[in-house]
Amino acid sequence: MLVEIGFIAALVISLWLAVDAARAQAPWRRRLPVKLLGVSVGAWTLGELMCLRATTPDELVLARRMLFAGSISLPIVWLWLATEVARGGWLRGLRRHVAWLALPGLFAYSCLYWDHDVRFVSWTARPPQHGPVFYGMLAYGYSLVAVGSVGLVIAARRMTRVSALRLALVAIAICIPLFGNLLFQVFGSGSVDPTPILVGMAALVLRLSVFDSGLAAFLPIARRDIIEQLESGVVVADVEGTVVDANAAAARFVPGSILLGRPLTEVLACARSVPGRMLEVQTSAVHGRLGEVGRFAVLTDRTAAQRSEQQLLQAHKLEALGILTAGIAHEVNNPLAFVRANLSGLEDLAAGLREGATRALLPPKLAELAADAPDLVAESIEGVERIGRLVRRLRRFARGDGGSAPYEAVDLRDIAEKAVTLAGVGLAPGAIQRVLHPVPPVLGNEDELVQIAVNLLVNALQASSGRPAIEVEVKALRGGVLLAVRDRGAGIPAEALPRLFDPFFTTKPPGQGTGLGLSLSFDLARQHGGTLEGGNRDGGGAEFELWLPV
DSSP string for 198-267: HHHHHHHHHHHTTGGGGGGGG--HHHHHHHHH-SSEEEEEETTSBEEEE-HHHHHHSTTS--TTSBHHHH
* Cβ partners under 8 Å of residue 19, min gap 6: 38
Q: Which of 501, 493, 512, 505 lies closest to 546 in space, CA to CA?
A: 501
Residue 139 to residue 92: CA distance in whole angstroms: 23
To the question of pTM greater than 0.85 for the whole model, the response is: no
Length, in residues, of the chain: 550
CA distance 527 to 525: 5
Q: How far apart are CA 22 and CA 510, in angstroms?
A: 64
Q: Give the β-pairing of 470-477 and 432-436.
A: parallel
Distances (CA, A) of 64 to 114, 115, 130, 382: 14, 14, 13, 111
Query: Domain boundaries in the chain?
Result: 2-214, 219-301, 308-403, 407-550
Q: Look up residue 509 and give its DSSP letter.
A: P
| Gap between the Cα atoms of 267 and 278, Å rounded | 16
- pLDDT tens across the length of the chain (550 residues): 677 787 788 888 888 777 777 766 555 666 678 788 888 888 888 888 888 888 888 888 898 899 899 889 988 988 888 887 665 566 767 777 888 889 999 999 999 898 888 889 888 888 788 889 988 998 898 898 888 888 777 766 665 455 566 667 777 777 778 787 777 777 766 567 777 788 877 777 766 655 544 433 444 444 556 677 778 888 888 777 888 778 888 888 886 667 877 888 888 888 887 777 778 888 888 776 556 777 888 888 887 776 677 666 666 666 666 666 666 766 777 777 777 777 777 777 777 766 666 666 667 777 767 676 777 777 777 777 777 776 766 666 555 554 456 788 999 999 888 888 877 766 777 778 889 999 999 999 888 888 888 888 888 888 777 677 888 999 998 889 999 999 888 888 877 777 777 766 666 655 555 566 787 888 888 888 889 898 888 878 889 999 999 8
| Chosen CATH of 407-550 out of 3.40.50.300, 3.30.70.100, 3.30.830.10, 3.30.565.10 | 3.30.565.10
| CATH topology assigned to domain 219-301 | Beta-Lactamase (3.30.450)
Give the distance from CA 10 to its chain's centroid: 46
Instruction: Tell me which fold the domain 2-214 belongs to.
Output: Rhopdopsin 7-helix transmembrane proteins (1.20.1070)
